[in-house]
Structure 1
Amino acid sequence: MKVFLLGAGASKAYDQSPSGLRMPIARDFFEIYDKTSLASDPWALTEGLITYLEKWAGVGSAFEYLRSGVDIEALHSEIESARNEAMKTGKYINWMVPYRAYNELVFLFASVINEIQNGPVSKPHLNLVEALNPEDAVITFNWDTLMDRALSEITPWRPDWGYGCPPQKIFRDGWTTPESASSTSSAASLIKLHGSTNWLTAHPVTDGKKTIHSSHDLSADAFAVYAHATQAFSCFAGRYRGGFEPFSYGYYPPNLDFPGRAAPEGRVIVRYRPRVPWREEGTADDSGLPSIPLIIPPVKNKSYEFFGDLFSNLWTSAEDALAAAEEIVVIGYSFPVTDTQSDTLFRRAFSRRTSLPRVSILDPCPELVATRFSRDYGLDHEHLRVEKDYFSADYDLGRLI
């Protein structure tokens, strides 16, 4: 079997977006965001982020700061830390601002990706799918759905069962129960180690001192998958935006039909939404439980355990695939030294092996990645192939496989 490992460089290969933009990386996220329609969309919320930067962090002008080349990973990590520290005080007035800013960044991050991938099916990813056999696996650290859509376009792969973790519900112009894979629907598996922009859960709730779990009344690892919509769906404040391809949606994803969490004894849940004159009201339905993209944001301390066993099971599946693969192809992943989780993943997988796999690396700067495999994972030169190039629609994957 083969395993393809995809990093940010694989997503950057998508050059067919009607927006004319390519997928962002940490250091150019806000530069890319500024060029999207989201930057002028009154429904794309940034008040919490601006308040945090100007009133809490004291940066002066939030707009100038965000345009100065700030790294979204550093900023999101800073806000997460501020939120967690403020919650320890137990005072709502202290943690409300960073809590809101953190959630707004999750939505902005997912929305930028959704806008960019809202175009034709990615040719580079279609080429990759053509190279897959049903027993192969694709492991990705990316949040986009370029691979998902390519798989569903030309193989029997379906989001109902193709992620290796069963969702609670699938949205196809309404919420439905996922179908099971049949004997004729075998296809390569897609393991998304940081979640996905089309995975949805309910908003997080707090006990006043920490973020504890989501507002749905199901197990922590329950999630839903958005597949497509051809008509308006119920969403927060009825703020539906149409015109999106499958696996992508506007700023607000559909509300869930999950049961909501009950208030603790002696308390009630109050739902309110301020109305302001500069933001038009939505006209779609707003019933159901408001949802949020289920992604592990680009922060230093990734809270996988917040979602129960979901991510531990996914990382175990990735380890099993890497331990069994005869061939591993790494595309556009730089193995950052700060990502200790991925390093542990490879160390554990390679320690289980009785033989060395063939490893191919496709990257415009592959030297450090090749060094990691030889120095840290014990791969000799006979088993290592390096291609100093970009992943693109014109790249011949036969050079790697």
Structure 2
Amino acid sequence: MNFLLLGAGASKAYSDSPTGVKMPIARDFFSTFCHLEVSSNPWVLIDGLMDFIVRVKEENPSEFFSKDIDIEELYTEIEENLNLYIGKEATIDRIRAFKSYTQLIFIFSSVINSIQNGPVSRPHSSLAKILSHHDMIATFNWDTLMDRALNVETDWNTDVGYGFLPKSIYRNGWVAPNDTNLNAPQLIKLHGSVNWLSSHPMSPEKDIVLTQESAPDTVWVYENTIEPYPCFAGRYSAGYEDFSYGYYPPNILDDRGRMVDNGHFLVRTRMKLPWVPEGIASDRGLVSIPLIIPPVKIKNYHGYGALFDGLWDNAKKGIERADHIIIIGYSFPRTDLKSNQLFVDAFMNRKNIPYVTILDPQPEKVADKFRLEFGIPNSHLRVIKGYFSDETDICNLLTFMGWN
């Protein structure tokens, strides 16, 4: 069995985007955003983010975004600012802080959806074709490059292919998933995905609370559409390939939303601005948001109930069972302690030593980690210095000569 771990370097392999832009990494995210048409779309909300930069950071937005801003550091600052305002007396300040927190999630997703809105990724397709149904792919990436390649090249599906059963799947309308056996690799997305949806959260006093009536680990999955779908303010954007959508994903129609406490009323309103065109689609249903774990230093996995505990446990079992572990474009950043612990815990449960292949343009630190921290000897470790790309020899990548 092969266990593959895909990092940001794997997504950088996608070179067929109509935008001419490649997937961003932490330090070039905003420069990438500014090169995309979506950055000038009036439906793309950035007022909360601008307010944070001007009011809290006391900087000029144009000058701020001209620098190599580390998105993890910025988002951590935004979260820390949110946590300054707690309790009933902090309502207005907390609303302003929470707006920047949620707007960045939509901005992340719109950047990814814009870039991946083209042909199926060739490197990912080549990989999907050669994998067996025993193999497992885990990824920290939010994009759907691997999802779409598996869907086209194998019998993989969104019904059961993510390691959980979604409540509904949007296939030109919400449909129930089929709980069937999967004759394809399983795809475990450890930080969520732009096509996974949850209800738009609220955070009036302290905790971040989902507005759905369903359990917090409930996931809705977007796959494709032909017709306009209901979304926030009817702002549907056409022209997107499968597994990608415009700034706003479809509203949730099979959840009425959480009930308000006794003595309270729920009011939904929005400001109409003359320079923002009105949407023409329906706006019925519960407003959704991409279900992704934002890039903060302390990640809130528990806000979605047991969902991520189950996914990380699936990945751990995959590492425990794998004969061959393949790391593609993942550098094990120092702040991502959970990924480090994942491998430590899995290797402690193993009775034998797996073979490990590392594909990365700068693999030395990752190779040292497997040698010194995870105890993989040189006889079981192969390092390939290079990028995951169209030129990658997939057959060679999946075959470790140490087995012979």
Does residue 285 (structure 1) correspond to residue 277 (structure 2)? The answer is: no
Question: SS where residue 359 of structure 1 aligns?
Answer: strand
Does residue 304 (structure 1) correspond to residue 293 (structure 2)? The answer is: no
Question: SS where residue 388 of structure 2 aligns?
Answer: coil
Give, in angstroms, the shift of residue 130 of structure 1.
1.7
- Counterpart among 343, 347, 350 of residue 344 in structure 2: 347
Distance 2:2 2:183 in 1: 15
- Counterpart among 238, 241, 255 of residue 242 in structure 1: 238
Aligned AA (2:351): T
Give, in angstroms, the shift of residue 66 of structure 1.
1.6
Cα distance change, pair 90–351 in 1 and its aligned pair in 2 (3 A):
farther
Distance 1:357 1:282 in 2: 54
Backbone CA RMSD of aligned residues = 1.0
CA contact 1:385–1:400 (8 Å) conserved in 2: no
- Counterpart among 246, 249, 252 of residue 248 in structure 2: 252
Aligned AA (1:108): I
| Structure 1 counterpart of 2:25 | 25
| Structure 1 counterpart of 2:34 | 34
| Structure 1 counterpart of 2:214 | 218
- Counterpart among 177, 201, 212 of residue 198 in structure 2: 201
| Structure 1 counterpart of 2:401 | none
* 1:326-370 alpha-carbon deviations (Å, 9 max, x no partner): 000000000111110001100000000000000000001000000
- Counterpart among 179, 182, 186 of residue 183 in structure 2: 186
Give, in angstroms, the shift of residue 88 of structure 1.
4.4
- TM norm structure 2: 0.97
* 1:83-136 alpha-carbon deviations (Å, 9 max, x no partner): 122134642122111100010000000110000000000000011112211010
Distance 2:200 2:226 in 1: 25
| Structure 1 counterpart of 2:402 | none
Question: SS where residue 18 of structure 1 aligns?
Answer: coil
Aligned pairs (5 A) from 1:308-319: 308-319=305-316
Question: SS where residue 165 of structure 2 aligns?
Answer: coil
Give, in angstroms, the shift of residue 250 of structure 1.
0.1
Give, in angstroms, the shift of residue 2 of structure 1.
0.5
Give, in angstroms, the shift of residue 213 of structure 1.
2.1
Q: Percent identity, aligned pairs only? A: 47
Distance 1:356 1:267 in 2: 59
CA contact 2:123–2:388 (8 Å) conserved in 1: yes
- Counterpart among 348, 370, 384 of residue 381 in structure 2: 384
Cα distance change, pair 90–382 in 1 and its aligned pair in 2 (3 A):
farther
Distance 1:196 1:263 in 2: 29
Aligned AA (2:268): R
| Structure 2 counterpart of 1:108 | 107
Question: SS where residue 312 of structure 2 aligns?
Answer: helix
Distance 1:87 1:280 in 2: 35
CA contact 2:165–2:179 (8 Å) conserved in 1: no
Aligned pairs (5 A) from 1:1-400: 1-59=1-59, 61-88=60-87, 90-182=89-181, 185-206=182-203, 208-257=204-253, 258-400=255-397
CA contact 1:87–1:94 (8 Å) conserved in 2: no
Distance 1:293 1:249 in 2: 11
Question: SS where residue 196 of structure 2 aligns?
Answer: strand
* 1:156-210 alpha-carbon deviations (Å, 9 max, x no partner): 100011000111110011111011224xx5110000000000000001123x321
Distance 2:38 2:279 in 1: 16
Q: How many residues align?
A: 397
89-98 vs 379-388, greater mean Cα deviation: 89-98
Aligned AA (2:21): L
Aligned AA (1:247): F
Question: SS where residue 341 of structure 2 aligns?
Answer: helix
Distance 2:296 2:283 in 1: 31
Question: SS where residue 80 of structure 1 aligns?
Answer: helix
Give, in angstroms, the shift of residue 386 of structure 1.
0.3
Question: SS where residue 3 of structure 1 aligns?
Answer: strand
* 1:232-264 alpha-carbon deviations (Å, 9 max, x no partner): 110000000000000000000000012211111
CA contact 1:204–1:211 (8 Å) conserved in 2: no
Question: SS where residue 10 of structure 1 aligns?
Answer: helix
Aligned AA (1:87): I
Unaligned runs of 5+ in 2: 399-404
Distance 2:280 2:63 in 1: 34
Aligned AA (1:20): G
* 1:253-304 alpha-carbon deviations (Å, 9 max, x no partner): 0000122111111000010000011101101100000000000011111000
Cα distance change, pair 310–266 in 1 and its aligned pair in 2 (3 A):
same
Distance 2:40 2:93 in 1: 29
Distance 1:212 1:150 in 2: 34
Distance 2:384 2:396 in 1: 8
Distance 2:352 2:206 in 1: 46
Distance 1:132 1:19 in 2: 30
Give, in angstroms, the shift of residue 211 of structure 1.
2.6
Distance 1:295 1:222 in 2: 13
